[in-house]
Amino acid sequence: MKKYDVKNCKILSAKQITEDIFDFIVYCPDFAPIAKPGQFAHIYVPGKTLRRPISICEIDKENNTLRFVFQIRGDGTRILSEFKEGMELDILAPLGNGFGLKDKEKKALFVGGGIGVPPLLGAAKHYGENATVCVGFRNKGAVILEEDFKNAGCSIKIATDDGSYGYHGLVTKLFEEEKPEIIYACGPTPMLKAVAAFAEKNGIECEISLEERMACGIGACLGCAVKLRNEENEEYMGHVCKDGPVFDYRKVVY
């Protein structure tokens, strides 16, 4: 079995960016040089047996930092949100396979919903001005990373459920006219299904990142079992943590 590394990593910056979303920059000299967009870290939360999986939002190989953007969902992420600049996080990383990045001249479409948006930033930066990013949120107050995508040169379209910012409606309406050569998506299942249908209809390559409940994070339990499909169209059980979290859309049984 692959050897996994755990390190104490210092938080260089810890910010609250919305009512319940936090943005950490963490010094990870052992992980940043080998991390890829779409991979995740398994973070120890004091008092909890199971680590919490959080995607790597950005990798700065020059400064050896990883960025994590996470939302308070329960006890674990609430405890994590109380960490401050200068404190250390116990991190197991980088885990999972990450996105398959192609020639950066290709036209890439990124589709994200809510807290499914952070894992897309690193990959979108790779394509820069060739990336169109379509993202959906509950309302204006929940919008995150807009400036980050813009600073990376990407075009960004935003939808909100209540119309308080950008397009009033579903994110899936934002990319109907797009003609990308590759698609990357992360977010709620109905959104992923719509993206997969769009990819299928137009014959476009597409990778989706799944966020399943997890336990060990390294393929040693069945905590993240998910139904997949092989090339013969036979269904089998796979692991999101080890086989994913990024999958070719044709592999996933929704």
CB of 38 to ligand FES, least distance (A): 16
Partner from ligand FAD, ligand FES, none binding residue 73, C-beta < 5-8 Å depending on class? ligand FAD
Per CB under 6 A, which of residues 227..246 are in contact with ligand FES? 239, 241
Asked if residues 35 and 93 have their Cβ atoms less than 8 Å apart, the reply is yes
Partner from ligand FES, ligand FAD, none binding residue 53, C-beta < 5-8 Å depending on class? ligand FAD
Is 219 a binding residue for ligand FES by CB under 6 A? The answer is: yes
Partner from ligand FES, ligand FAD, none binding residue 154, C-beta < 5-8 Å depending on class? none
- Judged by CB under 6 A, the residue of 72, 79, 170, 221 near ligand FES is 221
Q: Which stretch binds ligand FES (CB under 6 A): 22-30, 137-145, 155-163, 214-222?
A: 214-222
Question: CB-wise, 14 or 204, nearer to ligand FAD?
Answer: 14
Is 251 a binding residue for ligand FES by CB under 6 A? The answer is: no
Is 170 a binding residue for ligand FES by CB under 6 A? The answer is: no
Q: Which stretch binds ligand FES (CB under 6 A): 24-32, 108-116, 148-156, 208-216?
A: 208-216
Is 216 a binding residue for ligand FES by CB under 6 A? The answer is: yes
Integer Cα distance of 172 and 190 in angstroms: 10
Is 50 a binding residue for ligand FES by CB under 6 A? The answer is: no
Integer Cα distance of 181 and 50 in angstroms: 39
Q: What is the side-by-side order of every strand in the sheet holding 21-27?
A: 52-55, 40-43, 88-95, 6-16, 21-27, 65-71, 58-60
Question: CB-wise, 169 or 223, nearer to ligand FES?
Answer: 223
What does residue 37 show for φ and ψ, rounded to 5 degrees? -55, 135
Question: CB-wise, 69 or 204, nearer to ligand FAD?
Answer: 69
Is 112 a binding residue for ligand FES by CB under 6 A? The answer is: no
Q: Which stretch binds ligand FES (CB under 6 A): 16-24, 86-94, 142-150, 215-223?
A: 215-223
Q: Give the residues lining the site for ligand FES (CB under 6 A).
A: 214-217, 219-221, 223-224, 239, 241
